[in-house]
Amino acid sequence: MRSAGARVLVLPISGVCSLATTAVAIDYGGIDSYAAISVVLAIALLLPFADLGLGAGVINAYSDGRGPDDRRDLLASTVRLLVLSASLLVVAAILVSVFVSWSRLFGFSEEPPTPSGIEGAIVLAVVIFAISVPLGVGQRILIGIGKNHYVVFAGAITSVVTLLVVVVVSVAGLPSAFMAVAAAVGVLVSSLVMLRLAWSSIDLRFADLIDRRRRARGVLSLGAYMLCVSCFLAILFQSGRLIISHLCDDYQLASYSIAMQLYLPAVSILGSAGFALWPMFAGRRGRASTGGVSQVSFTKLVGIMVALGSAGCIALVFVLPLVSRVVSGHSVDPPLSLGLGVGALLVAQSAQVVPGMYLTDLAGMRFQAVCAILAATSAVLLGVYVAGPFGATGVVFATAAAVFLFQAAPSTVRMWLRERSLRYGPSSGALNVDLSLTSKGGK
């Protein structure tokens, strides 16, 4: 698929930038400082609920054959809600800082080696990220119109800008806490670029945003379930940092953070390929209620994704120790078990890609919401239980087990059962699409 190919092309850029960011941050502030900053660098991943799940509706609207007026109404409603969400996010960031303290929430100590000024840096990172929230409609539109490869290329800007911000902070001799805003700045710049790329497909004027007649019915129905999925997936995949931050030492947190620097580019390849399938599945739902992909094609697609995940798992196991020593100056040497745990998580997520993109209608998203709640809850509970005796390795394996047992397995069964009912039920007559056609759909 073109999206996956694009991701492979930009992967070296993103990977080198991510590792260089880690090396500069560790060299400038030390391991303990980097451990604290790495938690804040993931602030954008911790707050996907700011999207309110509305991105799913935008993708479906631009891929299922709706008319221009319907798309304009939905887009106007979506942007208004996202601006409101961003405003509330800024207010919440300030209130938490004043009355609770973000440092305490993230488990940072009030004494060195925690970087000075980290509290203000966290607030600034949230504010910058909030500005990018309504701009994110550009990314969803590009996915909906089948240009996910544009998203992949533009997304590479995030890691480049993140590195540039970190380098500027170190060269200028600023407090290392300022590095915490790097990722948020990268997301903002990337969102602006994707919005510009999608601009020709946005038939929306400023007057439409303030026109109350421009309102899409049920805009929050699908969004509510997508919001639930986003929130609990954030807990599922990002709670590990917080658990390790609270229950383990800084060495474990640094090891985990470096492992994630390798894991995220690898899983992004799977995500890029998966997002290319979303508009294809949504388009078939829009063109014909009996449309679908045969079970054989689904089996092959899932097999391909799992094979890619397995290849990534093997690579991670061999590369992680070498990369950790290089970027940390031999200060961090993660055990083999951590590489195996991250690899197992990658394989589990690869099995979830196809069913996750197929189950994106209202009923499917409702099912995914239930799975996400169960997976996140089990991952947190098990992670807290194993963090003490097994450290970062135990937390990663707990997440991998939760993804497979409560997401990948039930979603795959649900997908196959739905296709079986389409082919053999009253509405049988599903379109039989082989792998050659699905590959074209991702181009």
Per-residue pLDDT of 145-157, as tens digits, reads 878 888 888 878 8
pLDDT for the residue 262: 83
Q: Which residue segment(s) compose the domain that 329 sits in?
A: 2-441
- In whole angstroms, what is the distance from residue 269 CA to residue 7 CA? 6
| Cα 134 to the center of its chain, rounded Å | 17
Cis peptide before 113 (omega within 30 of 0): yes
- In whole angstroms, what is the distance from residue 410 CA to residue 224 CA? 21
pLDDT for the residue 179: 84
**385 token code pair:** 């239980």
pTM of structure: 0.70
pLDDT for the residue 385: 93
pLDDT for the residue 430: 41
Low-confidence ranges of the chain (pLDDT < 70): 1-5, 32, 36, 39-50, 52, 64-68, 107-116, 203-221, 283-296, 422-443
- In whole angstroms, what is the distance from residue 443 CA to residue 439 CA? 7
Domain count, the chain: 1
> Which residues, at least 6 apart from 189, have a Cβ–Cβ distance to it below 8 Å?
157, 158, 161
pLDDT for the residue 358: 87
129 and 47 Cβ atoms separated by less than 8 Å: yes
187 and 129 Cβ atoms separated by less than 8 Å: yes
Q: DSSP string spanning 171-217?
A: HHT--GGGGGGHHHHHHHHHHHHHHHHTGGG----HHHHH-TT---T
Q: What is the pLDDT of residues 72-124, one digit of tens each?
A: 777 877 888 888 888 988 998 899 888 887 777 776 655 555 566 778 888 88
Query: What amino acid occupies position 160?
Result: V
pLDDT for the residue 442: 41
